[in-house]
Every structure is written in C-alpha cells, then in structure tokens.
Structure 1
C-alpha cells in the first residue's frame, strides 16, 4: 500500500479505540527506536505514513502567513501542512523485532524538540532532496555530534537532479562507510528497503565493535 500524501488523518469528534492491527504481537521480543530526519519538506511524514503498519500519528498543522520569511519552502511551494512536533509509526522487521519510527519536524524553529526525539534512538534515516542539499548539512552535523549512526536516503523527486553516490557523498562530506540509497518515500517497499539498509548498517557496526 502506498502513501499518497502527508495529510493528517481526521476522525471527527469521536476518538476511535485501538484497532486489532495496532496491538503489538505477542511474538515481539525486541523493539528499536529509529528517527527519520531531514530538512523541511523532504518527505519525512510521507515515509513514516507509507511504511507504518499501524495508523500513523502525525502532528501536522496548517501553514500560515506567519511562516513566510521564516520557513524555507523552496521546492515545496504547494505544501499546506507542516509537522510541529513529531510523526510516529511502527513496522515489524521480523516476528520478534519491531521498529518504532519517529519523524522529526524539519523547520529550524522546531529543532529544540530534536533532543528528546534522539534520546534512545539506535539509528537514523536522513532524507535528502537533491534540489536543496544544503538543508541537510546541519541535520547530519547534529547526528554526528550525538554519535547517532545514520544512512542517507535520497528521496527522488521528479524534478530533482540526479547525482552519482560518490558526488553526493562528497557534497555532504560523509564518511566512506555511510550507506546512500535512493528511495521513493511514497512507496512502502522503497521505504522499507531504506529501513532494512539501516538495520544492516547497524549490524555491521555492532560486529565491528566486537
């Protein structure tokens, strides 16, 4: 199932109870916290929504004129809502392992929330937009400062320029071992591939420390 937009789900005045598919399976023995980070409008809410097996929690608010001159929406001019706290979803990797996904707000004025979202995170996905690579620099820097391992997911927008992985690595000043993968955040299978790449990378790092 693909996720076509990042619109907040609206259920009306009645608060629905948990669905059967929202319950954590009894077979689960381990859970891992993963953060989805990136600049404004790169597709974080879309990725969480596309891959989550439960109804995703979003904290989107309608964008207003108050953000003009404050939020950089270049490349996302048609975007009408923005995450102001976090997105949350869950995906089972195996019957025994689940990932809890936390999407961070992209605008710099909400970055004070990141510290709490990073607490306990085993790894991160950095979503990038090749039309605006510069919005990823501070994001990557913050992860490196906190020592959070991450992979780069190039969310391939139709009008975005294409660059070889080596050029992206150089432009983002990445270590040679950091994985770079292309993805379409709207597609469940593509987003799941990104998370599997992160899990394999974390496994490699764990083996290297043994």
Structure 2
C-alpha cells in the first residue's frame, strides 16, 4: 500500500485535485535547473551534461565561466502549491541548438516562468521571441537575483524587454525556495486570469 507522510513527498497528497504543467524557460545559465531543484519536493530529473570544448564558439559561456554543466533535454520537478494544486515543472534547455524541444515541452502547459539575468538582459530577447512564436502561453518574467548583478525596478525591466503592461514581473532568487514558490504562485494567478 502506498502512503504519504510528511517525510515522504514522493506521492501526491490525496487532497490534490488539480495538476498543472508549468514551463520554466530562460537563456543559458540563468538558473532554471537551480530553481526547479530549489522547489521540487521530489528528486528532480536533470539531463545535465558536461560543457566541453566542442561547444566553444557555439554556446555563449563567457558570462558564466563557473558553469560546468548544461541541460540538454529538460529538467523536471514537482511542487504541491496548495492542498489542492500540484505543479509539474518542465525546465527547457537554454541553448538555441536545443530549442526545437520547446514545442513538445510546451504542449499542455498552463503557462511559463521566464527567468531573466539582469547582467545579460539582451539574452532574454531571443528567449521571449521563442516563447511567443512557438507557444501561446501566458508568462511571468522572474528576475533571478545573482550576486553583484545590477538591480533594476520591474518597470525598467518591462521597458528594456518591451513587455506588455499585463505581463507580471517578479523578483526571485533561484536558490531561495520561498522566493521561487512566490514566483510560481504569481504565474498560476496570471494564467488563471488569462484563461
């Protein structure tokens, strides 16, 4: 017999009546894998591979020299957001050469959380374009606060990324579980309002 205890979150609580698929997107090295790992109540599935010299000149690794691995297919995790709602998180690869996977990952999703690094805002343009051209998902922009990164007001980010007034912008730290949960809750509220 399967049981759910406070020490074992492998199984959904019997109170969960709604499962929601969420896409977590962003450019290379913006913190998608970290965010899913921070909030997932199950051991997250990761498809990480070591970055090799073969990617030199193909992947923009200059701004993330400490990064040694990269997602090549997807990340997957689960979080019970409320007693009745569980979110299934699907993290997309950040490199353009893996973007063909996005269409399949987006199928059936209720919305997308777009992670942004203020040190490399220009990297977000292609991500937003990819999201808007390959999906019709509502999305929330989450500013991932990296140490030493410039701080901007959400309205400055809205202007820089040319976002609609209706697109919510939240601030989070992908390593902070509570901040990530708040960002995901903002996305769920926005998706419900949009649908």
TM bin, normalised by shorter chain, reads over 0.9
Does 1:56 pair with 2:44? yes
Cα-to-partner distance string for 1:117-168 (whole Å, 9 max, x where unaligned): 0111100000000111111112111222321100000001112111121111
CA 162–20 in structure 1, closer or farther in 2 if over 3 Å, else same: closer
Gaps of 5+ in 1: 1-18
User: What is the rounded CA distance, in whole Å, between the counterparts of 2:128 and 2:144 in structure 1?
Assistant: 16
Do structure 1's residue 44 and structure 2's residue 32 form an aligned pair?
yes
TM-score normalized with structure 2 length? 0.93
Partner residue in 2 for 1:116: 104
- Which residue does the alignment assign to 2:3? none
Distance 1:75 1:158 in 2: 13
Q: 1:79 aligns with which of 53, 67, 70?
A: 67
Question: Which of 71, 87, 91 is the aligned partner of 2:79?
Answer: 91
125-134 vs 195-204, which moves further:
195-204
What residue is the counterpart of 2:163 in the other structure? Answer: 174
Matches of 1:182 and 1:95, distance apart in 2: 25
Size of the alignment, in residue pairs? 188
Q: Provide the residue aligned with 1:157 in structure 2.
A: 146
Q: Distance in 2 between matches of 1:115 and 1:61?
A: 22
For the residue of structure 2 that corresponds to 1:86, the secondary structure is strand
1:36-63 deviations in whole A, cap 9, x for unaligned?
0000000000000000111111000111
Counterpart among 124, 136, 156 of residue 147 in structure 1: 136
TM-score by length of 1: 0.86
Specify which structure has the higher proportion of strand: 2
Structure 1 segments (4+ residues) deviating >3 Å: none
- Separation in 1 of the partners of 2:13 and 2:51? 37
Equivalent position of 2:15 in the other structure: 27
| 1:123-138 alignment, distance < 5 Å | 123-138=111-126
Is the contact between residue 143 and residue 149 of structure 1 (CA under 8 Å) also seen in structure 2? no
Q: Matched residue of 2:130: which SS?
A: helix
